[in-house]
Amino acid sequence: MAQTLHQIEKKLLGALKGASGGRLLQEAAVAAGLSIDEASRAVSWLEEKGFVSVSRTSDASYSFTKEGEEYLSAGFPELRVLSKAAKNASVASLDEVEKRVGLAWARRNNWVKIAAGGALEMTGVGAQALGEREIERAAKSLHDGKGIDEEALKSLMSRGLVQQRLSKQASVSITPSGSQAAMQLGTDSGNEEINQLTRDLISSKAWKGKSLRQYDISQDVDFTEEGKRHIISRFSRQVKGIFVQMGFEEMEGSIVESSFWNFDALFQPQDHPARELADTFYANSSFQLPSDKKLVAAVKKAHEQGWKYQWSEEEAKKAVLRTHTTAVSARNVAKSAGCGPKKFFCIGKVFRKEATDFKHLAEFYQVEGIVVWEQATLPDLLGILSEFYRRIGFEKIRFRPSFFPYTEPSLEIEVYFEKKKAWLEIGGAGIFRPEVSIPLCGRYPVLAWGLSLERPLMLLHDIGDIRSFYQNQVGWLRSMPVRK
């Protein structure tokens, strides 16, 4: 039995052999001369063989985020709003945080009302809340290391004011079978052995006189199912192949993006509802604006002239989980300035604060495409999309006028689904508005589209719930045909 053990298993057994009771994994790793990763692998293998038993514990600790620390020192914005309402202040007297966060929470809790002329009125519920100040007391109690109500803790965490940190520990004990195996090892547990023969070991003959690891090939395993790619991965490769055949270049980008590229470069105003915390995932960091000052100035000018408000650099620097791959398109449109005609596509994951159901997910894949060419026309866009969906397997395709914030004209793509005898919407497209493409690259028009990746798959394979793709049910995955 001992001969089939890996060298790190032998070392760990040797370290545990004389220990009475269990040993913390970190201590056992040091005693065996292993790294934590090596010791963790050895424990996993030995536990499977029944040579060690493992007791795992997890302790939770909580700390305040930067925003939470600010609220602790300056006061919670909704309570600050409530205090001003008690003095009959107006909305105009509130600072930026009080307007953006505090007023929203105060109104949601029915603490204040806004009267004619913008005056703040405190409700009876608000007066009671101002006296009790529950959320503030709970936060201070947690900060001081005292107990806190579970609901209050959930509230602080859901608002991104408190973060949880789990501290995990594992205690490892040798079993009677493990002790027997360790006895059989004798002094061999400390001897180095070669686990893999490399070209250098063979050419230098350094392997001679060394102990080679023996492999146990006695296990009888039946392979009854062939391996295959996940259906999403297969379809992504198919889509990528179609665009490459049509002469497109692939573009890529980070899933964490600045608000500048995700929103501002696409002429989406900074007070647009989609930019609220309720619709977008914000990261606790920020980006620098692009180094091209002319580009930033052009985007600022487009916003201030088009939307009639004062554009904020700080708002544009905020980091978000990208809500669409059009952020990648915006970057590549900017890079195309001064170049010849360009055609790009992108397949990537995007994130939105959606309520999960049979047709919505908080994260999903989007297929993005752009054509940068001054002579491009709307019929060119329709032709590209018709050919793309024809190659996927949809013969009947039509287009309907629609509205999207950064394209004009805009349209929705629909395909005819034979099984349901119905037309189903499957993506959006249009021509970037001049306020988008001119500041980015000084060119117009730019054709653009954003298509769903999962939706065509659901139609082609008659899948009724988008969550099926990500539940990793082996039987369901195996039942999916390699080709349709």
Q: Are 449 and 428 in contact (CB under 8 A)?
A: yes
pLDDT digits (tens, 9 = 90+) for 430-450: 999 999 999 999 989 999 999
Asked if residue 445 has a cis previous peptide bond (ω within 30° of 0), the answer is yes
Q: Are 232 and 463 in contact (CB under 8 A)?
A: no
User: Which tokens is 112 given?
Assistant: 């204040």
Give the C-alpha separation, 455 to 424, whole Å: 10
Confidence of residue 240 (pLDDT cuts 50, 70, 90): very high
Confidence of residue 244 (pLDDT cuts 50, 70, 90): very high
Short-list 175, 190, 178, 183, CA closest to 31 = 190
Confidence of residue 298 (pLDDT cuts 50, 70, 90): very high
User: Which tokens is 235 given?
Assistant: 């379809």
Q: Which residues contact 450 (CB under 8 A, 6 or more apart)?
A: 324, 325, 326, 366, 367, 368, 427, 428, 429
Largest CA distance in the chain: 92
Q: Is domain 233-479 annotated with CATH 3.40.50.1980?
A: no
Which pLDDT score, from 0 to 100, does residue 313 have?
A: 95
Q: Which residues contact 209 (CB under 8 A, 6 or more apart)?
A: none
Which pLDDT score, from 0 to 100, does residue 318 have?
A: 95
Which pLDDT score, from 0 to 100, does residue 84 have?
A: 87
Q: So what's the architecture of 66-160 in CATH?
A: Orthogonal Bundle (1.10)
Average pLDDT in the 405-420 region? 88
- In order of 74, 103, 106, 245, the CA distances from 100 in angstroms are 15, 7, 11, 48
| DSSP E strands, 187-290 | 193-194, 211-212, 249-250, 256-258, 282-286
Confidence of residue 479 (pLDDT cuts 50, 70, 90): confident
Q: Which residues contact 332 (CB under 8 A, 6 or more apart)?
A: 251, 342, 344, 370
Q: Strand order in 249-250's β-sheet?
A: 249-250, 342-351, 363-372, 446-452, 422-432, 407-417, 397-404
Give the C-alpha separation, 175 to 95, whole Å: 64
Report yes or no on whether pTM surpasses 0.75. Answer: no
Q: Are 39 and 30 in contact (CB under 8 A)?
A: no
Give the C-alpha separation, 43 to 174, whole Å: 10
Confidence of residue 28 (pLDDT cuts 50, 70, 90): confident
Same topology for domains 2-61+167-212 and 233-479, yes or no?
Answer: no
pLDDT digits (tens, 9 = 90+) for 334-382: 998 878 899 999 999 999 988 888 878 889 999 999 999 999 999 999 9
Confidence of residue 3 (pLDDT cuts 50, 70, 90): very low
CATH code at 2-61+167-212: 1.10.10.10
The listed range with the strongest mean pLDDT (53-57, 151-155, 267-271, 480-484) is 267-271
Domain boundaries, the chain: 2-61+167-212, 66-160, 233-479
Q: Is the pLDDT of residue 49 over 90?
A: no
